[in-house]
């Protein structure tokens, strides 16, 4: 359980103007982080952001705080989250800071940190930053104030890195692709990557105005992309979220291909080309169809808690390379230290090129199981373990599924509800079991 006051499982996030997502707090956060990292000696910290209006304000506040603590600052401008992780490594920086609220609307924002290795910060460092946040800000003497400069070629560096992840014996000539950037951080990056690899690119969501990030476009709203793929008779479409670490795709028939299906395509593609090292990590919410398809291919599969932090931790523990979530947050650890939408899309396309099959054909390798989730209201802090009367109902549901599905009960980490999820081959049975189980959980938690 997270016991920190400010840092959650994915940094600090909230509504702009509400503590801690204020300019004053970001100034103090920059100073606190600068003080912690300056213990390693004078160094540099990178700052990148997505396209929401508040990003410029928070960039200035963080920059001032870091410089006042004696840290040099490199400003990257609007950049995808995985690009900041990559550039943090290549610049040998002490840390990288991302100003983004990912797939949330423009009125939310947040901050997360990458270590010098482009990975999420250890708890020890986050705790140290939180401890400094309780101290009185004291600026270093004038001769030790940090210098601030802008990295003018940040986009070009990252574009070349993305292209280098695609097999050199393939290109995208003759391909027509719809690329939806959600009016977010990939708007000036992703179209160039696919275009420079030879594709004809139809752009969607590349006109950010500070307020329209993720609005009716991107990976969380693929409807526009579906329509555009059909209208343009494109080979496929690719949609990213606001900060570029998630991706979903659409095949030529206009069918959405989600993160579970993309993960399977990447894994089988790598196995067929002899490049799959180990197995695949999914989450508790990964569709049972993914697990079964991997099992049929004799590819090991492991589940972990929901969240890319847990997927990454499990990959490192098992020394595997591929993992992800149905939302489209996919990690290819041999190529990137974090989830990367562009890199993941290129791995899917590489699997298409190597197999000679289109996305629609590859999508059929996985038979999605019907899934029903019901949120049951409960008292804050209610644990599943305390609902002893539910055990028998869960066992009964599992018996009726007879090995062709699963039951999952888990408390929400953000609201006072218990999520009841049933998955199986038979849609009607899944609906029946989910409703019955939700009723029993409601009675027990009432």
Measured from the Cβ of residue 423, the count of other Cβ atoms closer than 10 Å reads 24
**Listed residue (117, 118, 100, 98) closest to 109, CA to CA:** 100
In a domain, 1, yes or no: no
Strand order in the sheet with 12-15: 12-15, 108-115, 95-99, 44-49, 72-78, 148-150
The answer to whether 265 and 331 are in contact (CB under 8 A) is no
Together in a domain, 269 and 234: yes
DSSP, collapsed to helix, strand or coil, labels residue 416 as coil
Tell how far CA 206 is from the center of its chain.
20
Specify the pairing of strand 72-78 against strand 95-99: unpaired
Whole-number average pLDDT of the chain: 94
Q: Is 412 labeled as catalytic in the residue annotation? A: no
**Listed residue (119, 81, 84, 130) closest to 101, CA to CA:** 81
Confidence of residue 178 (pLDDT cuts 50, 70, 90): very high
Residues 277-328 have pLDDT tens digits of 899 999 998 999 999 999 999 999 999 998 888 999 999 999 999 999 999 9
CA atoms within 13 A on the CB side of 279: 19
Distance CA 56, CA 155 (A): 18
Residues 213-264 have pLDDT tens digits of 999 999 999 999 999 999 999 999 999 999 999 999 999 999 999 999 999 9
Helix axis angle, 23-37 relative to 123-133, nearest 10°? 120
Together in a domain, 359 and 377: no
Together in a domain, 69 and 105: yes
Report whether pLDDT(373) > 60.
yes
Rounded to 5 degrees, φ, ψ at 43 are -150, -160
Residues 102-148 have pLDDT tens digits of 999 999 999 999 999 999 898 999 999 999 999 999 999 999 999 99
Together in a domain, 123 and 186: no
The answer to whether 76 and 181 are in contact (CB under 8 A) is no
Together in a domain, 80 and 202: no
Please tell me the total number of residues recorded for the chain in this structure: 446
pLDDT of residue 410: 84
The domain spanning residue 406 has which CATH number?
Answer: 3.30.310.50
3-state helix, strand, coil in the chain (%, to 5): 40, 20, 40
pLDDT of residue 2: 53
Range of the domain at 391: 371-445
Together in a domain, 259 and 189: yes
Distance CA 215, CA 213 (A): 5
Radius of gyration of the chain (CA): 23
Interior angle at CA 74, CA 247 and CA 52, nearest 5:
45
Report whether pLDDT(1) > 70.
no
Q: Which residue has better confidence, 121 or 57?
A: 57
- Among candidate residues 38, 102, 327, 336, the one labeled active-site is 102
pLDDT of residue 437: 93
In the chain, the number of structural domains is 3
The answer to whether 293 and 365 are in contact (CB under 8 A) is yes
Together in a domain, 25 and 92: yes
């Amino acid at each position: 359980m997270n016991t920190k006051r400010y840092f959650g499982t994915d940094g600090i996030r909230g509504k702009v103007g509400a503590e801690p997502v204020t300019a004053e707090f970001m100034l103090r956060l920059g100073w606190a982080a600068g003080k912690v990292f300056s213990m390693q000696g004078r160094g540099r910290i990178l700052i990148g952001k997505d396209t929401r209006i508040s990003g410029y304000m928070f960039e200035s506040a963080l920059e001032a705080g870091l410089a006042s603590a004696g840290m040099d600052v490199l400003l990257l401008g609007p950049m995808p989250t995985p690009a900041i992780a990559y550039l943090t490594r290549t610049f040998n920086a002490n840390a990288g800071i991302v100003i983004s609220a990912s797939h949330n609307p423009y009125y939310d924002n947040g901050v997360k940190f990458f270590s010098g290795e482009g990975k999420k910060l250890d708890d020890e460092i986050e705790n140290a930053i939180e401890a400094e946040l309780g101290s009185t800000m004291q600026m270093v003497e004038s001769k030790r104030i940090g210098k601030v400069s802008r990295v003018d070629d940040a986009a070009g560096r990252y574009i070349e890195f993305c292209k280098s992840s695609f097999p050199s014996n393939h290109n995208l000539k003759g391909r027509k692709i719809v690329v939806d950037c959600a009016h977010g951080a990939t708007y000036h990056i992703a179209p160039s990557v696919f275009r420079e690899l030879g594709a004809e690119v139809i752009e969607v969501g590349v006109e950010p105005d500070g307020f329209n990030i993720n609005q009716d476009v991107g990976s969380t709203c693929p409807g526009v992309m579906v329509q555009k793929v059909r209208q343009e008779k494109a080979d496929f479409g690719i949609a990213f979220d606001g900060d570029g670490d998630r991706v979903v795709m659409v095949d030529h028939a206009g069918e959405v291909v989600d993160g579970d299906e993309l993960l399977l395509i990447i894994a089988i593609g790598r196995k067929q080309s002899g490049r799959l090292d180990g197995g695949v990590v999914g989450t508790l919410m990964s569709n049972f169809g993914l697990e079964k398809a991997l099992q049929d291919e004799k590819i090991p599969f492991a589940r972990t808690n929901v969240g890319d932090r847990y997927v990454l931790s499990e990959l490192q523990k098992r020394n595997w390379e591929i993992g992800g979530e149905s939302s489209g947050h996919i990690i290819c650890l041999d190529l990137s230290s974090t989830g990367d939408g562009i890199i993941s899309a290129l791995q899917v396309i590489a699997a298409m090129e190597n197999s000679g099959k289109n996305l629609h054909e590859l999508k059929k390798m996985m038979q999605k199981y019907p899934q029903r989730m019901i949120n049951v209201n409960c008292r804050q802090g209610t644990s599943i373990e305390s609902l002893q009367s539910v055990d028998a109902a869960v066992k009964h549901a599992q018996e009726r599924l007879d090995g062709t599905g699963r039951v999952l009960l888990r408390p929400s980490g953000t609201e006072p509800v218990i999520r009841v999820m049933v998955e199986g081959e038979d849609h009607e049975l899944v609906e029946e079991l989910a409703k019955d189980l939700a009723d029993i959980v409601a009675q027990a938690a009432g």
